[in-house]
Structure 1
Amino acid sequence: MTMEEGKEEYTQDGTVSLKGKPLLRSKTGGWKACSFVVVYEVFERMAYYGISSNLILYLTKKLHQGTVIASNNVTNWVGTIWITPILGAYVADAHLGRFWTFLIASTIYLSGMSLLTLTVSLPSLKPPQCFETDVTKCKKASTLQLAMFYGSLYTLAIGTGGTKPNISTIGADQFDDFHPKEKYRKLSFFNWWMFSIFFGTLFANTVLVYIQDNVGWTLGYALPTLGLAISIMIFLTGTPFYRHKLPSGSTFTRMARVIVAALRKRKVPIPHDPKELYELDMAEYAKKGSYRIDSTPTLRFLDKASVKTGSSTSPWMLCTVTHVEETKQMLRMIPILVATFVPSTMVAQINTLFVKQGTTLDRHVGSFKIPPASLAAFVTLSLLVCVVLYDRFFVKIMQKFTKNPRGITLLQRMGIGLVIHTIIMVIASGTESYRLRVAKEHGVVESGGQVPLSIFILLPQFILMGTADAFLEVSKIEFFYDQAPESMKSVGTSYSSTTLGIGNFISSFLLSTVSHITKKNGHKGWILNNLNESHLDYYYAFFALLNFLNLIFFAIVTRFYVYRVEVSDSIQVLAKELKEKKMSNHVNLIE
């Protein structure tokens, strides 16, 4: 066996065992390790969506909150769920590493779930039952009851902040970017990742939601809590097979150093030859299993951080070209990040206003009564079908035209998702306008009674939401992971969750603002507790316009986006391999 062959047996991307030792490629990582991570995510998503899918109905029916307040409480909590991963990514990259950050956070997560189950179970921790049509006339929850309920919800949110950015990154880390076959397999990882986790979502949106509506909230919350406990044990079972990346220092500190150094040397000229900028030898990066990144002509001002002046080697005065380029890359992604805020605001409607619409419609199929939150299952089913069709058919068809191993670029895939989001809101506005017209014809506007229409008239907006997710959400996760520098993968992954968090906060802001503005000058307003008197059709039309304007913004920023150099190169290599494979198959057929 040659030395080169022996070296090839070990991973080349800097991954090590939990004890810090080199790892044999054949005994660790790959889909064998990923299977434990994916199974964990199935159960964890069951736990999360078991709470979030029906939360608005618990707030209105059990805590007696109005439509706007309940919707905002849901979106504020969900926003926090998706924002806290920034903190989890920081702790993982700078201090504890992904594995230990995940493990500690999952314990906090389980504690929050357990406490939440307790609060919905004990009668003393919720207000007395009320049968008034207008819930605002019922007795409100006390300060202690609200403190216990929201305390458990936000404890849970802190836990997800540590698990969310690290679990998908742990999964992606099981594929060695320095190994062509493993890097190629990772192209499908995020598709199948999303496919697997939404099985848990589907269970939550059907079985758990039904239990909560028809059996009781105690069992409905106890089951996802038990599922989370099982998922943590499953994850731990796979520990011997995991590949780990050591903490590489605070991403935010490195970025801050580059920006500060560039500002401090703002009057210093940049040399014409990039080789004159400060950089370490290639061997220094090879020891750490990381990349050295060459200087690029974009965001040139930051190159000043690498200009050598005098004898000062302070990291706040002199940064390597690689650190500068890493910072550039994280900053280059921000316009794309901003363009995903609006569709994330649309996603927030699934578990709030879409569910409230369902409560006003006929939910009977024979003797069976459909829980309104169960329609979210069609988002999941649509996503599952579309991901499979995309991965198995669409990619292969597009490869023939584009020669891109992904079929189309990640940004093109995101763009298709944005177009679908615009269409969704146009359809939702038209459907709601029809629902209000029927409510008026049958005289149930003022009473807030049931509108004699099947709940299934809402299906198109739910199904298309899943289709949009198959394009936008999957590509968004892959884009921010793929485009983040190697040492900043956790923060890159947290970008994708941050968009959902900000989208939910924007939803809260827009709902409150539109509700307030439309009530001025003696008008009833667009969003009331009685949806039959509301004008959600106008609100959804406003969202359609917002999506269209955002699509224009996205088209502009993508024209100026520069893909990460080493990623672009690796995609070219994969494209070449794909071409050679097709030529080989063609020769075999001739023979």
Structure 2
Amino acid sequence: MGEDDANPKDGTLSKLEVEDDNFTKDGTVDFRGNPANKKETGTWKACPFILGNECAERLAYYGMGTNLVLYFKHRLKLSSANATKTNSDWGGTCYITPLIGAFLADAYLGRFWTIAIFSIIYVFGMTFLTLTASVPGLKPTCDTYGNCHATEAQKAACYVALYMIALGTGGIKPCVSSYGADQFDDADEVEKKHKGSFFNWFYFSINIGALVASSLLVWIQDNVGWGLGFGIPAVAMAIAVITFFSGSRLYRNQKPGGSPLTRLCQVVVASIKKYQVEVPADKSLLYETTDAESNITGSRKLDHTKDFRCTK
């Protein structure tokens, strides 16, 4: 290293400082695992691929969920009570599976691979559901008057497809908004301001998907056919997955930090062992290990606070 690089005498930034300023300060990495370059990754360059995936997923979800009770009643010939219960069971599963997706993303896979893998599962589920509504042998048999009969095997095939979709949405729902936030560095004031705009567009994309699904797709299902009504969101989701992968070079990724359950247990054990220790009023007197020892990969340290302090 030259002396001019380390100690510039004219008041300008050194070469090393300029190079360091080109990289994010929040620990994100690029697709190669190297520190993310601000000029080449993240911000609005990466967001359209993420927003497109979310819009397509919401289009598919609401395209099914809005009209699913009628499909159960008219095609699978379930009673009103059973149709409503089956739909509620499926919807409830869609809101439980994000616990699985969030755990895998934070602990082992990272958000990119969690979204990618579960999106593919989603596409397979949507494709299979389309086949159960359009392919002879898989779809219920209907007469000229619209009276349909579904065998137990046909019902089972429909349920398998739906619960594949429920598993798929479990990996997408908890990760997409956080993954979008990862594209903006909180240590950069300009990027930090843009993060708020991302969430505006994120919820806009959700509402666009829901609007198209609840209007156009529902009309197609009722007036054209269930096969096409399920097939359109399946194609949209497949395109979204391809588009999501095409933006891989632009994403900033947080490294997974290991199982949060282990860290939670460590905190509980430490709290029990040290419950009688007197906490100093000056936080600078608190014991801190070095960053290399205490840092959790993919996470950031939190400032000390008294908000969660246990008092006698």
Task: Give the equivalent residue in structure 2 for 1:253.
Answer: 262
Runs of at least 4 residues off by over 6 Å: none
Residue in structure 1 matching 2:42, options 23, 29, 44: 29
1:217 aligns with 2:230: no
Separation of aligned partners in 2, 1:52 and 1:65: 16
Once residues 285 and 261 of structure 1 are traced to their aligned partners in structure 2, the CA distance between those partners, rounded to angstroms, is 14
8 Å Cα contact 1:63/1:126 also seen in 2:
no
Corresponding residue number in structure 2 for 1:115 = 128
Shift of 1:192: 1.4
> Does 2:141 correspond to 1:94?
no
2 CA distance for matches of 1:12 and 1:290?
12
Q: Describe the shift of the 1:287–1:163 C-alpha distance in structure 2 as closer, same or farther (beyond 3 A).
A: closer
Q: Counterpart of 1:272?
A: 279
Partner of 1:234: 243
Please give the per-residue CA displacement for 1:22-55, whole angstroms capped at 9, x wherever unaligned: 1221121101110111122222222222111111
Please say if residues 29 and 241 of structure 1, whose CA atoms lie closer than 8 Å, have aligned partners that are also in contact. yes
Q: Structure 2 unaligned runs (5+)?
A: 1-12
Deviation at 1:223, TM superposition (A): 1.1
Q: If the length of structure 2 is used for normalisation, what is the TM-score? A: 0.85
Aligned residue runs from structure 1 range 472-491, under 5 A: none
Deviations 1:174-205 (A, max 9, x none): 00011111111112221211112322222212
> For 1:225-256, what per-residue CA distance to the aligned partner results, in whole angstroms no more than 9, with x for missing partners?
11111001111111111111111111232123
Other-structure match for 2:200 = 191
Specify the alignment match of 1:124 in structure 2: 137
The change in CA–CA distance for 1:41 and 1:293 in structure 2 (over 3 A counts) is closer
**Residue of structure 1 in register with 2:153 after alignment:** 144
Counterpart selection for 2:213 from 204, 212, 225: 204
C-alpha deviation, 1:219, in angstroms: 1.0
Contact 1:285-1:291 within 8 A present in 2 as well: no
Q: Residues 204 and 281 (structure 1 numbering): CA distance in 2 closer, same or farther, change over 3 Å? A: same
- Write out per-residue CA displacement over residues 337-383 of structure 1, whole angstroms, 9 at most, x where no aligned residue: xxxxxxxxxxxxxxxxxxxxxxxxxxxxxxxxxxxxxxxxxxxxxxx
Q: 2:87 aligns with which of 74, 83, 105?
A: 74
Question: Alpha carbons of 1:285 and 1:183: their partners in 2 closer, same or farther (altered >3 Å)?
Answer: farther
Asked if the contact 1:32/1:241 (under 8 Å) is kept, the reply is yes
| Corresponding position: 1:6 with 2:13 | no
Distance 1:261 1:145 in 2: 54
2:105 is paired with a residue whose SS is helix
Alpha-carbon spacing, 1:290–1:126, altered in 2? closer, same or farther (3 Å): closer
Which residue number in structure 2 is paired with residue 175 of structure 1? Answer: 184
Correspondent of 2:64 among 38, 51, 69 = 51
The separation in 1 between residues aligned to 2:66 and 2:30, in whole angstroms, is: 38
- Which residue of the partner structure matches residue 310 of structure 1? none
Paired residue type of 2:132: T
- Cα distance in 2 for partners of 1:196, 1:115 equals 25
* Larger relative contact order, structure 1 or 2 (CA cutoff 8 Å, min sep 6): 2
- Residue 262 of structure 1 deviates from its aligned partner by 3.0
Tell whether the 8 Å contact from 1:45 to 1:201 is kept in structure 2 after alignment.
yes
Aligned residues: 296
Q: CA deviation digits over 1:197-230, x for unaligned, max 9?
A: 3222222122211111111111111111111110
Kept after mapping to 2: 8 A contact 1:84/1:162: yes
The residue identity in structure 2 corresponding to 1:13 is D
**CA–CA separation in structure 1 for the residues paired with 2:76 and 2:309:** 55
Q: Following the alignment from structure 2 to structure 1, what is the Cα–Cα distance between the partners of residues 223 and 297?
A: 56
Query: Which residue of structure 1 aligns with residue 3 of structure 2?
Result: none
Q: Name stretches of at least 5 consecutive residues in structure 1 with no aligned partner.
A: 133-137, 304-591
Mapped contact 2:46–2:183 kept (Cα < 8 A): yes
What is the aligned partner in structure 1 of residue 55 from structure 2?
42
Shift of 1:276: 6.2
- Distance across 2 between alignment mates of 1:262 and 1:289: 24
CA distance in 1, matches of 2:223, 2:189: 52
SS in 2 for 1:195: helix
How big is each residue's C-alpha offset from its partner over 1:533-564, in whole Å with a ceiling of 9 and x where there is no partner? xxxxxxxxxxxxxxxxxxxxxxxxxxxxxxxx
Q: In structure 2, what is the Cα distance between the partners aligned to 1:131 and 1:66?
A: 21
Change (3 A) 1:128 1:284: same
Instruction: Provide the secondary structure at the position in 2 that maps to 1:165.
Output: coil
TM-score using structure 1 length = 0.47
Deviation digits for residues 395-453 of structure 1 (CA, Å, limit 9, x no counterpart): xxxxxxxxxxxxxxxxxxxxxxxxxxxxxxxxxxxxxxxxxxxxxxxxxxxxxxxxxxx
Q: Would you say the 8 A contact 1:112–1:152 is kept in 2?
A: yes
What SS class does the counterpart of residue 99 from structure 2 fall into? helix
What corresponds to 1:358 in structure 2? Answer: none
- The residue type equivalent to 2:198 in the other structure is F
Amino acid at match of 1:62: R
Residue 166 (structure 2) aligned to one of 157, 161, 174: 157
1:28–1:243: 8 Å Cα contact kept in structure 2? yes
Deviations 1:119-158 (A, max 9, x none): 11134335444899xxxxx887433222111111001111
Partners of 1:123 and 1:217 in 2: CA distance:
13
Decide whether aligned partners of structure 1 residues 276 and 67 sit closer, same or farther in structure 2, where only a CA change above 3 A counts. Answer: farther
Cα distance in structure 1, aligned partners of 2:36 and 2:206: 28
Seen in structure 2, the aligned counterparts of structure 1 residues 253 and 22 have a Cα distance that, compared at 3 Å, is: same
SS in structure 2 opposite 1:102? helix
Q: Matched residues in 2 for 1:270 and 1:204: separation?
A: 58
Would the alpha carbon gap of residues 288 and 6 (structure 1) be closer, same or farther in structure 2, given more than 3 Å must change? farther
Identical counterparts, % of pairs: 45
